[in-house]
């Protein structure tokens, strides 16, 4: 399915949670001198213009990253995230970086990126955004569900993989579980971040339960809902991440900042977050 364009949703509450957590994970990976790979299964276009084109139609960023940009006295970790977004802007909030460009901003010279994007238009934009950086970045117009297999295990035996399909196709939920099972067989010590939407349907919960049933020794599950479910039963009212082999510091970092993040992004009194983890 090639209809999905992330530009419609760039910078929304789900992007804020996903990219904030990703930033914490990548910052932790830099604490060791040994290089690592960053793998993105559904990379998107890489950079999104917020006040023109797709993103401006629903302006979802106004209920997401714009709220953090306007906030005062943020916790240090959230302030670092906002500072990272500001690096892609000059004063006003005009652009929002997707996960590939955010990751690149945090990678070191010896770290490598492997990016997959199947949509031809987004693949072309992604390639243009990384023009002239072939030594560090390899971009493939390929389904990341299949492409990631060739990346595991990576030569440095260290990797962070972001798995965030659009889930427009219901089969994506099962594809994620199958991918995670296969990835753990190929590279059990990798860090895998699985993003998912919170919807009024059964598939997201079933996927998380199946991931829990893998009985991995180290995992973290975080979710954030910003408003009550819509009365018509449609729409995403939150999102979450299930992380295998997370940094041991991640739970503490999130516990300290999720209350304020939830308060900033809340649209009604039902807004809430969850945080569960298990470390061997």
Q: By the 8 A CB rule, do 207 and 175 touch?
A: no
Q: Evaluate whether 243 touches 250 at the Cβ level (below 8 Å).
A: yes
174 — phi, psi (to 5°)?
A: -75, -35
122 is known as an active-site residue: no
Cβ(55)–Cβ(48) under 8 Å?
Answer: yes
- Rounded to the nearest angstrom, the gap between the alpha carbon of residue 92 and the centroid of all alpha carbons in its chain is 24
Q: Which two tokens stand for residue 271?
A: 């807004």
Structure tokens at 96: 């929002």
Q: Which residue of the set 40, 164, 172, 253 is catalytic?
A: 164
First vs last C-alpha separation in the chain: 39
- Taking a C-beta distance cutoff of 8 angstroms, is the pair 127, 13 a contact? no
Burial degree of 108 (CB within 10 A; 0-12, 13-18, 19+): exposed
**Three-point CA angle 64, 167, 3, nearest 5°:** 90
Residue 53 near residue 121 (C-beta atoms within 8 A) = no
Q: Which residue's structure tokens are 């990798």? A: 190
Distance CA 131, CA 136 (A): 11
Using the structure block, give the residue that is written with the tokens 């789900």.
14
Q: Which residues contact 163 (CB under 8 A, 6 or more apart)?
A: 41, 42, 144, 148, 176, 179, 180, 192, 193, 194, 195
Residue numbers annotated as active site: 164
């Amino acid at each position: 399915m090639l209809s999905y364009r992330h530009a419609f949703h760039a910078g929304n509450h789900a992007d804020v949670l996903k990219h904030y957590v990703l930033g914490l994970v990548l910052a932790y990976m830099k604490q060791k001198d040994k290089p690592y790979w960053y793998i993105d299964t559904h990379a998107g276009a890489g950079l999104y213009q917020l006040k023109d084109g797709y993103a401006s139609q629903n302006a979802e960023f106004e209920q997401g990253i714009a709220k953090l940009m306007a906030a005062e006295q943020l916790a240090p970790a959230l302030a670092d995230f906002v500072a990272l977004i500001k690096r892609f802007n000059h004063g006003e909030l005009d652009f929002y970086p997707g996960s590939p460009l955010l990751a690149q901003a945090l990678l070191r010279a010896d770290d490598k990126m492997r990016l997959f994007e199947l949509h031809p238009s987004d693949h072309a934009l992604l390639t243009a955004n990384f023009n002239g950086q072939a030594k560090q970045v390899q971009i493939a117009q390929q389904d990341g569900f299949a492409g990631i297999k060739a990346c595991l295990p990576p030569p440095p035996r260290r990797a962070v993989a972001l798995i965030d399909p659009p889930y427009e196709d219901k089969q994506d939920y099962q594809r994620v579980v199958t991918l995670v099972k296969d990835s753990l067989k190929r590279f059990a010590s990798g860090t895998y971040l699985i993003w998912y939407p919170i919807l009024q349907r059964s598939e997201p919960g079933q996927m998380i339960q199946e991931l829990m049933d893998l009985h991995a020794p180290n995992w973290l599950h975080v979710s954030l809902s910003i408003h009550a479910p819509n009365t018509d039963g449609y729409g995403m009212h939150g999102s979450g991440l299930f992380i295998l082999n997370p940094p041991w510091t991640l739970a503490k970092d999130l516990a300290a900042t999720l209350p304020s993040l939830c308060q900033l992004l809340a649209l009604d009194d039902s807004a809430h977050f969850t945080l569960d983890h298990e470390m061997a």
